[in-house]
C-alpha cells in the first residue's frame, strides 16, 4: 500500500483518529494539520487501522468516533464556532420557500447555522444567491464519453454537486467488472457520485450484449454505501408480466429506491408496473403522461439532455395549472460535454423551468431538495443545520449563472484536491467484430418496407411504411431514407440487423458508433455500403468510438477505448474531436435540430417506442416483437 493511499485512507478515517490520537502522541487539530505530519506517522496510523477495523475493537472505535464527531458539531453549533463562514448571502430556504439575507456557518463539511456569524476563514457572497448544491437525479456518465473525473470538471462549475449515476452502459459491455470500475473511479472525487444498480443488462432479450447481470451478481453491491437502489427498469414487459428473473431483482432491492423507465405506459399496465416496484420515471413526453404517473405516486424526472428536449410545453403546463412540484425533479440522462459547456447542466433545467413560469425557489427545490427526498438522502438538498455543506452561489435565480461552488468536503471546488486510481484492464479491448461485407448489409425489399421514422428533438420514433428504391431486389438509400445497421461487437458472433431510417438525412457518407444504447453494439447509418463498411472498420481499429466517413475518407473520429464508451483524453481534446464529428455529420446533411451522434446511439435501444433496430433485426417496442422486413 503506497503512502499516498495511506493518506487518502486517513482522510476517510479522520473521525476515528481522535479516539486514539493521544496513544500516538499526536495533536488533535484539523485534518490538514495532521496530514502535514511526517509520512511515517501517517503510514503507522494506517497500519493501526488495518489491524483493527475488521475486529470488534474497530467497530467500537467507529461508534465512539461517530459520537465524538456529533459532540464536536453540537458544541460548534451551540458556541457559533465555525471553521468557515459564508458572509452576505441570500440564502434559499427550501423548507419555507423563502430567500433569507444571512451568513452561513460551517464546521468542516457540515452546516451548523444560518444567521450572523464570523470567524477567521470568511468568504464574501456579495449578495449572491446561495442554494443547495444541484443534484442530477439520473445520469449515465459514460454518455459524456469521458471518465468520471473529467465529467466532474465539466459539470461542477455549473453548480451540480451530486449525481445519481446508472452505470448500465459499461455494465452492458463489461458486466460486474464495469460496475466496479465506475465505483472505484468515483470514490474520492469532490463530486458526490451515487449509483443505482443496473437492472436490465441486457435491456431486453432481443439483442446481444457484452454481459448479463442477474440478481445473484447484484447481491455483492448491496453493502456498498453509495449504491442507493435499483436502476431504471426498462424491461417493463418483464416487470408487468411477473418474469421471475426481474422479480428476483426487484425483491433484492425492496424498500430501496427503484427507478422506472416506462415511456407512454398508461392505464392498467402502468398500475401493474407501479405495483411491481418502480417509483420514478424520466421518459414522459407530454403533460397528460406526467399527471397520470404523478397520480400513481411516481416521481417525475424532467430531463434536459442532448437528444431529449421539447419539455417546455410540460413545464408551462405545470406552471399554468399550479401543479404541485414536490414530486418533480431534474435529470440529464445523456448529455454531451459540448452541450453542457454551451447550455449548462442541471442549472439549464432550472433556467428553463423559470422561463416557463415555475417560481425560482420551486425550480431550486426541483434541482436539489426534491431529488434528495426521492432517493432518501437525508443530509443533502437543503441549507440548514446538520446538512452537508455542498452548496452553489448564483448571481441570480433566473439565468442561474454560477459564482462559486462548494463541494461535499465543505471547500470551494477550486481548492479541492483529488487523485484518480488506475483503470482495470477489463474495460479495454471490448470491440470484437466478425468480418462484415457488402453482402452482410444487403436488405431485400418488397412493395412497401417498414421504416424507423425519427421525431425531431425526441427519442421516440414512429413505425411507418414507405415505397423504396431498389436495385437487383435490394434496398438503395434515396429520397431521405438511409440504411441502418447494428453489428454485434462483443463476441464476434456475426449477428447483424439491417433496416431503414428516415430523418438522419445522410448523403454521400456514413456515421458509426459503438455507443449504441444499451447493449452498445456497433450502429452505423449511411447512404452507401462502401462508406458504412469503412466506418465499421475504422471503429474496430481504434477500439470503439464515433466516426464520420464520406466518399471513402474518414472525415472525423473520436476513439473511445474504455469499453468503446469513454476515453481518458483531456476534455478539451474530446471537445475538439466532438466538434469535428458534429461538423462532419452536418456536412453530410444530418438534421441540425438534434445531436446526430446521440440520435444515432438511441436508434438501437429496444425499450423506447415505437420501433428500433437491434443486431437481431427490426423490433416493435410497443408489441415487443420483431417486424418482418
Q: Which residues of 280-310 are buried (b: 16+ CB within 10 A; e: fewer)?
A: bbbbbbebebbbbbbeeebbbbbbbbbbbbe
Cα separation, 163 vs 157, in Å, equals: 14
Cα separation, 537 vs 551, in Å, equals: 15
| Measured CA distances, 559 to 531, 536, 547, 581 (Å) | 18, 13, 8, 11
84-93/122-124 β-pairing = parallel
pLDDT per residue as tens digits for the range 572-620: 999 999 999 999 999 999 877 778 888 899 999 998 889 999 999 999 9
Q: Cell numbers at residue 570, please?
A: 483531456
pLDDT of 358 higher than 90: yes
Low-confidence winner among 346-350, 361-365, 577-581 (lowest mean pLDDT): 577-581
pLDDT per residue as tens digits for the range 512-559: 999 999 899 999 999 999 999 999 999 999 999 999 999 999 999 999
> Is the distance from CB of 130 to CB of 91 less than 8 angstroms?
yes
> Is the distance from CB of 523 to CB of 603 less than 8 angstroms?
yes
Helix H segments across 25-110?
31-35, 39-52, 56-79
> Is the distance from CB of 395 to CB of 129 less than 8 angstroms?
yes
Q: By C-alpha distance, which of 531, 518, 526 is closest to 500?
A: 526
Torsion angle, alpha carbons of 27, 29, 32, 37, to 10? -10
pLDDT per residue as tens digits for the range 461-492: 999 999 999 999 999 999 999 999 999 999 99
pLDDT per residue as tens digits for the range 381-417: 999 999 999 999 999 999 999 999 999 988 898 888 7
pLDDT of 306 higher than 70: no
Cα separation, 275 vs 277, in Å, equals: 5
pTM, rounded to two decimals = 0.84
Give the per-residue pLDDT at 10: 47
3-class state of residue 553 by DSSP = strand
Give the per-residue pLDDT at 211: 94
Q: Which residues contact residue 56 at a Cβ distance below 8 angstroms, ignoring those fewer than 6 apart?
A: none
Q: By C-alpha distance, which of 136, 78, 82 is closest to 377?
A: 136
Q: Give the residue, 239 or 629, on which the prediction is more confident.
A: 239
Cα separation, 584 vs 425, in Å, equals: 32
pLDDT per residue as tens digits for the range 206-227: 999 999 999 999 999 999 999 9
Give the per-residue pLDDT at 203: 81
What confidence category does residue 18 fall into, taking pLDDT thresholds of 50, 70 and 90? very low
pLDDT per residue as tens digits for the range 108-130: 999 999 999 999 999 999 999 99
pLDDT of 38 higher than 50: no
Q: By C-alpha distance, which of 242, 296, 311, 243 is closest to 265?
A: 296
Residue with cell 428500433: 612
Cα separation, 166 vs 227, in Å, equals: 10
Q: By C-alpha distance, which of 17, 160, 149, 157 is closest to 417?
A: 149
Q: By C-alpha distance, which of 150, 147, 142, 241 is closest to 198?
A: 142
Report percent pLDDT > 90 for the chain.
77
Instruction: Look over the chain and give the mean of its residue pLDDT values, rounded to a whole number.
Output: 90
What confidence category does residue 307 fall into, taking pLDDT thresholds of 50, 70 and 90? low
pLDDT per residue as tens digits for the range 53-96: 555 666 677 777 888 889 999 999 999 999 999 999 999 999 99
Cα separation, 513 vs 497, in Å, equals: 15
3-class state of residue 275 by DSSP = helix
State CA 25 to chain mean position distance.
45
Give the per-residue pLDDT at 58: 62
Domains of the chain in sequence order: 1-79 (no CATH), 132-380 (3.20.20.140), 428-626 (no CATH)
Cα separation, 500 vs 496, in Å, equals: 14
Torsion angle, alpha carbons of 575, 155, 364, 286, to 10? 50
Amino acid at each position: 500500500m503506497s503512502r499516498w493511499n495511506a493518506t487518502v485512507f486517513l482522510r476517510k478515517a479522520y473521525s476515528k483518529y481522535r479516539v486514539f490520537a493521544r496513544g500516538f502522541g499526536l495533536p488533535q487539530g484539523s485534518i490538514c494539520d495532521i496530514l502535514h505530519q511526517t509520512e511515517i506517522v501517517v503510514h503507522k496510523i494506517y497500519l493501526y487501522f488495518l489491524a483493527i477495523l475488521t475486529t470488534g475493537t474497530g467497530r467500537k472505535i467507529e461508534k465512539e468516533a461517530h459520537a465524538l464527531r456529533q459532540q464536536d458539531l453540537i458544541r460548534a453549533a451551540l458556541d457559533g464556532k465555525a471553521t468557515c463562514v459564508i458572509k452576505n448571502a441570500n440564502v434559499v430556504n427550501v423548507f419555507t420557500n423563502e430567500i433569507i439575507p444571512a451568513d452561513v456557518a460551517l464546521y468542516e463539511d457540515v452546516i451548523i447555522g444560518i444567521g450572523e456569524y464570523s470567524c477567521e476563514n470568511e468568504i464574501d457572497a456579495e449578495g449572491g444567491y446561495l442554494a443547495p448544491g444541484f443534484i442530477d437525479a439520473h445520469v449515465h456518465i459514460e454518455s459524456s464519453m469521458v471518465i468520471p473525473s473529467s465529467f466532474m470538471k465539466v459539470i461542477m462549475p455549473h453548480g451540480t454537486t451530486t449525481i445519481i449515476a446508472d452505470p448500465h452502459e459499461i455494465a452492458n459491455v463489461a458486466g460486474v467488472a464495469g460496475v466496479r470500475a465506475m465505483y472505484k473511479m468515483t470514490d474520492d472525487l469532490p463530486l458526490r457520485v451515487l449509483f443505482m444498480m443496473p437492472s436490465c443488462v441486457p435491456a431486453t432479450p432481443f439483442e446481444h450484449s457484452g454481459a448479463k447481470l442477474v440478481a445473484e451478481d447484484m447481491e455483492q453491491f448491496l453493502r456498498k454505501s453509495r449504491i442507493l437502489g435499483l436502476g431504471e427498469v426498462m424491461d417493463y414487459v418483464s416487470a408487468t408480466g411477473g418474469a421471475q428473473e426481474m422479480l428476483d431483482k426487484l425483491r433484492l432491492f425492496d424498500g430501496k429506491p427503484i427507478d422506472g423507465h416506462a415511456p407512454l405506459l398508461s392505464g392498467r399496465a402502468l398500475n401493474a408496473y407501479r405495483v411491481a416496484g418502480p417509483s420514478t420515471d424520466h421518459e414522459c413526453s407530454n403533460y397528460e403522461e406526467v399527471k397520470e404517473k404523478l397520480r400513481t405516486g411516481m416521481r417525475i424526472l424532467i430531463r434536459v439532455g442532448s437528444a431529449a428536449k421539447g419539455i417546455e410545453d410540460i413545464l408551462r403546463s405545470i406552471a399554468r395549472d399550479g401543479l404541485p412540484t414536490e414530486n418533480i425533479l431534474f435529470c440529464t440522462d445523456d448529455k454531451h460535454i459540448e452541450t453542457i459547456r454551451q447550455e449548462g447542466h442541471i442549472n439549464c433545467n432550472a433556467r428553463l423551468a423559470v422561463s416557463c413560469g415555475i417560481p425560482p425557489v420551486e425550480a431550486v427545490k426541483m434541482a436539489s431538495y426534491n431529488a434528495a427526498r426521492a432517493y432518501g438522502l437525508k443530509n443533502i438538498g437543503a441549507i440548514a443545520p446538520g446538512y452537508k455543506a455542498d452548496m452553489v452561489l448564483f448571481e441570480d435565480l433566473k439565468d442561474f449563472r454560477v459564482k462559486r461552488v462548494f463541494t461535499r468536503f465543505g471547500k470551494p471546488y477550486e481548492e479541492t484536491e483529488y487523485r484518480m486510481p488506475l483503470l482495470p484492464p477489463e474495460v479495454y479491448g471490448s470491440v470484437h467484430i466478425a468480418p462484415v461485407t457488402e453482402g452482410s448489409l444487403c436488405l431485400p425489399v418488397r412493395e412497401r418496407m417498414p421504416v424507423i421514422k425519427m421525431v425531431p428533438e425526441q427519442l421516440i420514433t414512429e413505425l411507418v411504411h414507405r415505397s423504396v428504391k431498389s436495385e437487383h431486389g435490394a434496398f438503395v438509400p434515396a429520397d431521405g431514407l438511409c440504411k441502418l445497421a447494428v453489428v454485434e461487437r462483443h463476441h464476434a458472433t456475426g449477428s447483424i440487423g439491417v433496416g431503414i431510417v428516415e430523418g438522419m438525412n445522410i448523403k454521400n457518407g456514413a456515421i458509426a458508433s459503438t455507443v449504441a444504447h444499451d447493449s452498445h453494439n456497433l450502429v452505423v447509418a449511411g447512404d452507401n455500403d462502401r462508406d458504412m463498411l469503412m466506418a465499421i472498420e475504422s471503429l474496430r481499429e481504434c477500439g470503439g468510438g464515433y466516426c464520420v466517413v464520406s466518399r471513402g475518407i474518414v472525415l472525423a473520429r473520436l476513439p473511445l477505448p474504455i469499453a468503446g464508451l469513454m476515453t481518458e483524453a483531456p476534455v478539451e481534446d474530446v471537445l475538439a474531436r466532438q466538434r469535428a464529428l458534429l461538423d462532419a455529420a452536418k456536412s453530410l446533411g444530418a438534421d441540425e435540430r438534434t445531436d446526430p451522434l446521440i440520435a444515432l446511439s438511441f436508434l438501437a435501444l429496444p425499450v423506447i417506442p415505437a420501433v428500433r433496430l437491434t443486431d437481431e433485426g427490426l423490433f416493435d417496442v410497443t408489441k415487443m416483437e420483431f417486424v418482418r422486413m
